[in-house]
Structure 1
């Protein structure tokens, strides 16, 4: 898909969709920058396993505070940037009757403000290479869920940001798209505070909330990220593409 030798940043590459995307880019022969708050050594090892010649750069940092550092370190190492995958995301549960402003700020800072900063710092370099951006949003940006108002709002904002920046950068031949995953089997739900029992029940319930009758796997999202980042999608920009087994078109009765 014409990704060999391309320099790709994947934020939130420590686990889940980010780890799967980093591995997929390495498999395509890209030079992959892995960023995350946690030591992503196993992601690095997985990339090497699928492509022993993969050129990798591991940056430990927080996208809310280290956006400029992530872009600068990448350019210092590789001299260019071709693809930015804004995958790092954060969620918290709570009704408007319970959620507080600190929770609101944490979610919005990671899911919206950090993406703005990374995009701003990356854009001049992407213009030089006529590269592209893939944002990892959520079906929560397309649908409304009680108890997840802040998370849904942050992802809806990310979708609109995707469309607006696509228009800003289209004259420079830089494409900007987003994927909107449904329920994917990752550590995300445990980070929301679900117990093992609650997570098992939630994933079982997903059989009825997704038209295809199951939750998704990280590699199923990674495959679409690869497609949007490659020349195979050269005439696609400003798209928000559901990878959700049909969840966004479900109308529960």
Structure 2
């Protein structure tokens, strides 16, 4: 597989799954636009890519979303693949006083930003007959954690958005798919404010909750994204691909 001369935007590519995706695309010949909020982390990822475009941006800000698409097309001349990876997690009970604040923040990051980026990127991707891949979660398919209604809802919405847009863009030759990881070793827990002890406890619990008794590395999710973006997946659109070490099928 190669992506020579393909142009790829990867949001949330300063670390974790997004970084792994961007690095693998670059290694396969793609021109990559790295998008994230942390300049230092983006610069570290950029060192592992071949001449990427680095954009410090916040996907909850409309002007930043516009800049991501406009600067990528201006710099590289086109857009072939959009990977909507940026996301966040935060817990709140529906009974909590913070319920709506948490809900709005998560929905803006995990769903609204994807909708707007896709809206702006679609005309360019239609021109190149490219494709879109959304990074969702198994928590969009099944409720597995307490006090996570906002995150669960955002990912369930993202999956159905994927199917809806796939149906619309199929006639334009554009494929749209979703990748739904289970537990993956990333900094999402750290970014949500969890200390090292809490992170370890959560990851240990997640591992025990998988049928294969393991947690994935970000590169494993990147491998699946690369496949779906390639011509080997030319017949696949509107699909939700789970990579969770059997998290959804674990029996007692």
TM-score range, shorter chain: over 0.9
Q: SS where residue 48 of structure 2 aligns?
A: helix
Query: Could you tell me how far 1:121 is from its partner in structure 2?
Result: 0.3
- Give the equivalent residue in structure 2 for 1:56: 52
Conserved? CA contact 1:30–1:55, under 8 Å: no
Q: Note the alpha carbon deviations across 1:133-192, whole angstroms, 9 max, x for none.
A: 000001111111321100000000000000000000000110000100111111101222
The size of the alignment, in residue pairs, is: 246
Q: Which runs of 5+ in 2 are unaligned?
A: none
Q: SS where residue 205 of structure 1 aligns?
A: helix
Correspondence for 2:48 among 46, 67, 72: 46
Conserved? CA contact 2:92–2:102, under 8 Å: no
**How far apart, CA to CA, are the structure 2 residues paired with 1:166 and 1:105?**
25
Task: Give the CA RMSD over aligned residues.
Answer: 1.0
Q: SS where residue 248 of structure 1 aligns?
A: coil
Deviates more, 1:96-105 or 1:122-131: 96-105
Query: Could you tell me how far 1:207 is from its partner in structure 2?
Result: 2.5
Superposition misfits of 4+ residues, deviation over 4 angstroms:
none
After TM superposition, list the pairs within 5 Å mapping 1:1-253 onto structure 2.
Answer: 1-39=1-39, 40-47=42-49, 54-65=50-61, 66-98=64-96, 99-144=98-143, 145-251=145-251, 253=252
- TM-score w.r.t. the length of structure 2 is 0.95
**How far apart, CA to CA, are the structure 2 residues paired with 1:93 and 1:100?**
9
Q: Which runs of 5+ in 1 are unaligned?
A: 48-53
Conserved? CA contact 1:211–1:250, under 8 Å: yes
Query: Could you tell me how far 1:78 is from its partner in structure 2?
Result: 1.0
Q: SS where residue 124 of structure 1 aligns?
A: helix
Deviates more, 1:95-104 or 1:231-240: 95-104
Query: Could you tell me how far 1:193 is from its partner in structure 2?
Result: 2.6
**How far apart, CA to CA, are the structure 1 residues paired with 2:59 and 2:206?**
30
Conserved? CA contact 2:125–2:174, under 8 Å: yes
Q: Note the alpha carbon deviations across 1:17-59, whole angstroms, 9 max, x for none.
A: 0001010001100000000111110000122xxxxxx231001
**How far apart, CA to CA, are the structure 2 residues paired with 1:169 and 1:155?**
21
Query: Could you tell me how far 1:100 is from its partner in structure 2?
Result: 2.6
- TM-score w.r.t. the length of structure 1 is 0.95
Q: Note the alpha carbon deviations across 1:100-146, whole angstroms, 9 max, x for none.
A: 31211110001111000000000000000000000000111111132
Q: SS where residue 109 of structure 2 aligns?
A: helix
